[in-house]
Structure 1
Amino acid sequence: MVLAGSPKALTGMGVSGGRLVAGKQQRPLSENRGLETVIGVDERTQILETDKAPWRMVCALDIEAPWGGFVGSAWFAGPRTLITAGHCVFDRSQMGGWATKITVTPGRSGGTTPFGSFVVTRFSTVDQWTDSQNPDYDISAIHLDEAYGDELGWFAIGALTDTELQDQLVNVSGYPFERGGGTQQWWARNRIRAVEPRRIFYDVDTSGGQSGGPTYMIEANGTSAAPLVVGIHAYGTGGTPNSIPLLVNSAPRITPEVVEQIGRWIEQDSGSH
């Protein structure tokens, strides 16, 4: 296991975190199956206490790009650094290239914005994404001008082994378009059903707009429960390769290389002010 960072300002976890899951499970939490990204019966729950951790560390994105407007999700990895899917900041085939600006709203709940919104114009991704849009490298950073994470907190990230990930229960939070037009935070949980070197695949219900949201475990540490991101949610069942004969959604996996890249982005942001 390779870990980086530590979750910050997790007050309120006991109130809002009761639904979060930890541990391993050999069976899905739901046996329902379907042919869409929502796998069978939609088991997502709307999060209303978005001013509490960890929900306030998940952000709604309103993305403006050359070919139109889009919605997405992101999460705090440091005081001035958000992590999201690569295709939320750069997508040659859907967005017409780089986003021109993104309005970020932490912990949004419909028309309620407990921490306000801010416009960002600085983004980064990796060469493997810009060159070939390889789904295994669908990761990017949004660089903030202010240290909003000092107030809101941020997730830890972890590069776990295949054994540590397989059958692990994970949570996915984000802002789907078809539920509130990208303004409401929805959450679901289930197990990781397959692990590849750069992707993890799970039964968690999601839909468009949740790309970029955190795929995270709850690491029990004494009496506390800390959220640990192990993937960046990015794909529905249509993004599952033929080598995985399952109806599952997926995320680029947090590997040691990704831990290092996120660490460089965080260091870059801390040194730019």
Structure 2
Amino acid sequence: MTAGHVLYIKDSGVPGRDGRVKSIQVMPGRNGTTPPFDSVTSTNCRSVLGWTNSGDENYDYGAIVIPTELGSITGWFGFGAWPDADLLKTTGNIAGYPGDKPPSTLWYDSRGISAVNPLKVHIDIDTAGGQSGSAVYRIINGSRYAFAVHAYGGATTNSGTRITTQVYDNLVAWKA
């Protein structure tokens, strides 16, 4: 899973850039110039009409369907849809590759959830451009479960598209 704006570019202001990406290279776990795992290129990307047709931030999510079993080497995150009360008492975690840090270095932060609404999760977790599409996740019994897809920075909090039942169902269908 990732942010929809990673897969379908809207209103970039660059002639010929907008629209569905033609291919995307997935390189899990970068460590500077050293890729610890294989990379894979995919031309099979999914998003939803709420993003691709109107650019609605509430629907800014998608998925990259990769043509290999790379996850059997790297492992997988789980994902789920949880009620407001559960999310508001959990710690949100995010790891990604912020553009304000040395290139291709993984950074991590965690904090409590600031607010939730039916379609978004607001987090007071430090992020920067380049981290769009990172899972916002919780840890349950040592396993990581995404509950939102990070997509936006804000003046007081950052936010991501919440994994609702509808988002969950789309992700499961795309995985199949």
Determine the structure 1 residue equivalent to 2:4. 86
- CA distance in structure 2 between the partners assigned to 1:165 and 1:119 by the alignment: 34
- The answer for the alignment partner of 1:227 in structure 2 is 144
Distance 1:102 1:178 in 2: 22
> Which residue does the alignment assign to 1:103?
25
Task: Using structure 1 for the length normalisation, give the TM-score.
Answer: 0.61
Secondary structure of the residue that 1:258 maps to in structure 2? helix
Alpha-carbon RMSD: 1.1
Give the secondary structure class of the aligned counterpart of 1:93: coil
The Cα of 1:86 is off from its aligned counterpart by 0.1
- Structure 1: any 5+ residue segments left out of the alignment? 1-82, 239-246, 268-273
Contact kept, 8 Å, 1:90 with 1:130, in 2: the verdict is yes
Change in Cα spacing, 1:237 to 1:167, as seen in structure 2 (3 Å) is farther
Unaligned runs of 5+ in 2: none
How does the TM-score come out when normalised to structure 2?
0.94
Is the aligned partner of 1:191 residue 2:109?
no
Structure number with bigger Rg: 1
- Residue 215 of structure 1 deviates from its aligned partner by 0.2
| Match of residue 94, structure 2, among 160, 167, 172 | 172
**Cα distance in 2 between the residues matched to 1:103 and 1:197:** 32
**Equivalent AA in structure 2 for residue 109 of structure 1:** N
Deviations 1:200-226, CA, capped at 9 Å, x for gaps = 101100000000001000113xxxx11
CA shift at 1:97, angstroms? 1.3
Paired letter, 2:149:
I
User: What corresponds to 1:258 in structure 2?
Assistant: 167
Once residues 49 and 31 of structure 2 are traced to their aligned partners in structure 1, the CA distance between those partners, rounded to angstroms, is 34
Offset from partner CA, 1:100-137 (integer Å, 9 cap, x none): 22121111110110113222222110111111111111
The answer for the alignment partner of 1:249 in structure 2 is 158
Q: Please identify runs of 4+ aligned residues in structure 1 that moved more than 3 A.
A: none
Paired-residue identity, %: 36
